[in-house]
Structure 1
Amino acid sequence: MKMTFYNFGIRVWRYRVAGFMVTLGVTFLLILKGSHLLQQSSSQNLKTPEKQMSEQKRRPSLNLFQTRTHSPPLVFLKTHRTGASTVQNLLFRMGERDTAAFAFPHHGYHFSYPDSNFNILSSCLRFDLSELKKVMPPDPIFITILRDPVHTFESIFAYYSSSIPAFTSAKMINSNKTALSVFLDSPELFWDSNIPQNGLAKNPMTFDLGLNNYVWNSSWPADLAVLEEIFSLVMIAEHFDESLILLGALTYLTCSVMLSSFIN
């Protein structure tokens, strides 16, 4: 038994010594690395102003897109109840970082058309390309976000139940059913196409995209083809993470192309 405890003690001592040696070696490497970095920093500080200026001219500035002039113009068609506010918040942060000029409504949170040009527009509006061209620089990036129509409608009904006349009428019916069930049982009793405020009560994403959301007509295939050409990215709420990756890649590629054309 004594021999066993003796052997155990020897092993513990060896591990302690080995651990000390490893720690000492790592510390030594860190000191060498720090000394090397200090030498590099000192050599850079000793460069003459003329040499530093010469090197800056040879390489493109990393702060090129920190000014509003070179921020890629972007239009985000903010659809209703699709997760678009989250995307809008991300674009606000990106634009604030790049000191971009934002287009905001004069009143409320839905967009009306001012007279100035802007870099980023990301408010609720009904898509109208001719009007957007009046307030945006040439060749903006157009993006939007869509969501499963059933989930979108359920969310819109809950959110606008007190402001959309068709929903409010269904909500006032005394029934043991939910207001949404009452509306879906007989939507034709509540929905009136002559009331402009009912626009979001039928096919809301179609309405936001500027299409005729009242009836299907023969122009829809051509209209959808035009929208497909206009929008560089259509995000999907059910695949939000993947959509954000695509959004990041799109903005990065656009900035790279602009940087290349600027340098050339």
Structure 2
Amino acid sequence: MREEGEVREVCAPRSNIAFLKNHKCASSAVQNILFRYAEQHNLQLALPDASNYFGGGVRPFRSEFYTGSPWSKLGVNIFAIHTKWNHDEIAKIMPNNTVYVTIIRDPTSLFTSLFSYSQFQKRTGLTFDEFIQKTPVEGKRLVGYLGFNQMAWDMGMIKEDINNITKVARMVREASDHFDLVMIAEKMEESLVLLAHLMCWPLSEVIVPKLNARSNKYHFNMSKEILNVLQEKQAPDHFIYNHFLKKFDSLVDAFGRERMAHQVSKLRKLTENLMTKCKLNKKPSVELTGINKPWSDMVEGYTVGNTTDKRCQRIAMTELAIIRDLRDRQHKEVIARFGLPNDPRLHALNIGAVPLVQLQQEEEGQQKEEGNRVDTQYIPIPAGFSKLVSISGNKTAGRVKKFGV
């Protein structure tokens, strides 16, 4: 039943979406939503032949990373894999009406999470304070791609330019043109409401608990001096964050604060109901096993009591386990549709060779590298807000107008 004063827009659910998965920005939660949506609606995912990265996190994405894969014949609806973003190359493999989204996080919170999750101290021999004080911004990145200004790096900046604010500002302008929605990790519920609205999905499609959240004992207490040094070194990421935070707040104003509060309340109830239905129980990683055990012992995961509901199982599974299943599903579909032989060599194409070798070693228990593990009705809207997501008749047919940027 329509609520009094509620405006509804008739729209068809959108199926084509490309998601820039920034490190340690609650991006695994968004990825989980997109994976579940793809599976439920029989959509095709851009998946690498192995690992959970295109280009290993070091090389900018190239369309060949995907077009050489066994399932490229199926086409792509959803892109939600870690990569160093290269918009033009990603657009080559996506449909013209693709929606582009990403999520960002307060740079200080992001870095502290990255430092502990990726075991910087163990890998470098430097404490948290020492690393911040001694490591140059343009210095060598951990495992080739992790370090200061992680958002700038993930969004496509090269190491030599990452501390050049002029070039960062240019990248931000380009990102503002490319991305239809830039979500904010600190405003996750509001972000999911806007994502559901943009995609014309019911709120039930964007339910997700916190994934890969750090246990409280692994949080840092910084002195004011260290905080100042960190903020200075991460000026590029702060520029990115402040720009898109302002845009996001303006978008919520356009949506309507009261309407947003109502939608967030509905989303919370839906999430609570799903947690109860699935019998999800949060536990430290060290107490979990198999497909439910996160890569890092410093984060938390879930056990699931409801083993008959596939959605429940997917929420509790690690990224690595889900990607394996989705890869297998698409491989079988290729065979069914195109008669390709069930040849294991189809999974061993030479795409990103070094990262693939590293992942294979990790899966055999020989090493652990964080970056190389595998670890898209009616929507209530306020009057006027639909203008922000109307279909454009400009150069790209069916392109959604810019949303949140």
Q: What is residue 114 of structure 1 aligned with on the other side?
A: 66
Structure 2 unmatched runs, 5+: 1-10, 56-64, 202-375, 379-389, 392-396, 399-405
Judged with a 3 Å threshold, the aligned counterparts in structure 2 of structure 1 residues 130 and 249 are, in CA distance, closer, same or farther, namely: same
* Correspondence 1:154 to 2:112: yes
Q: What is residue 169 of structure 2 aligned with on the other side?
A: 221
Quote the Cα distance in structure 2 between the aligned partners of 1:108 and 1:88.
Answer: 15
Q: What is residue 168 of structure 1 aligned with on the other side?
A: 123
Structure 1 unmatched runs, 5+: 1-61, 66-70, 172-178
Return the structure number with greater helix share: 1
Quote the Cα distance in structure 2 between the aligned partners of 1:130 and 1:255.
Answer: 32
Judged with a 3 Å threshold, the aligned counterparts in structure 2 of structure 1 residues 90 and 108 are, in CA distance, closer, same or farther, namely: same
Q: What is residue 15 of structure 2 aligned with on the other side?
A: 72
- Structure 1 residue 192 displacement after superposition: 6.6
Quote the Cα distance in structure 2 between the aligned partners of 1:159 and 1:183.
Answer: 15
- The one-letter amino acid of 1:102's match is L
Q: What is residue 329 of structure 2 aligned with on the other side?
A: none
Deviation string, structure 1 residues 66-123 (Cα, Å, up to 9, x no partner): xxxxx53110101111111011111111112221001112111112521123100101
Judged with a 3 Å threshold, the aligned counterparts in structure 2 of structure 1 residues 145 and 195 are, in CA distance, closer, same or farther, namely: closer
Quote the Cα distance in structure 1 between the aligned partners of 2:155 and 2:54.
Answer: 14
Quote the Cα distance in structure 1 between the aligned partners of 2:180 and 2:138.
Answer: 35
More contact order relative to length (CA 8 Å, sep ≥ 6): 2
Q: TM-score, normalised by structure 1?
A: 0.61
Q: What is residue 252 of structure 1 aligned with on the other side?
A: 200
Q: What is residue 193 of structure 1 aligned with on the other side?
A: 139
Quote the Cα distance in structure 2 between the aligned partners of 1:167 and 1:208.
Answer: 23
Deviation string, structure 1 residues 13-47 (Cα, Å, up to 9, x no partner): xxxxxxxxxxxxxxxxxxxxxxxxxxxxxxxxxxx
Q: Say if 1:76 and 1:122, in contact at 8 Å, map to a contact too.
A: yes
Aligned pair partner of 2:190 in 242, 254, 258: 242
Q: TM-score, normalised by structure 2?
A: 0.41
- Structure 1 residue 194 displacement after superposition: 5.0
Q: Which structure: larger Rg?
A: 1
Aligned pair count reads 181
Deviation string, structure 1 residues 222-261 (Cα, Å, up to 9, x no partner): 2211110110111111000100000000000898878xx9
- Structure 1 residue 130 displacement after superposition: 2.0
Quote the Cα distance in structure 2 between the aligned partners of 1:94 and 1:240.
Answer: 18
Report % sequence identity. 28
- Structure 1 residue 197 displacement after superposition: 3.0
Q: CA RMSD in A?
A: 3.0
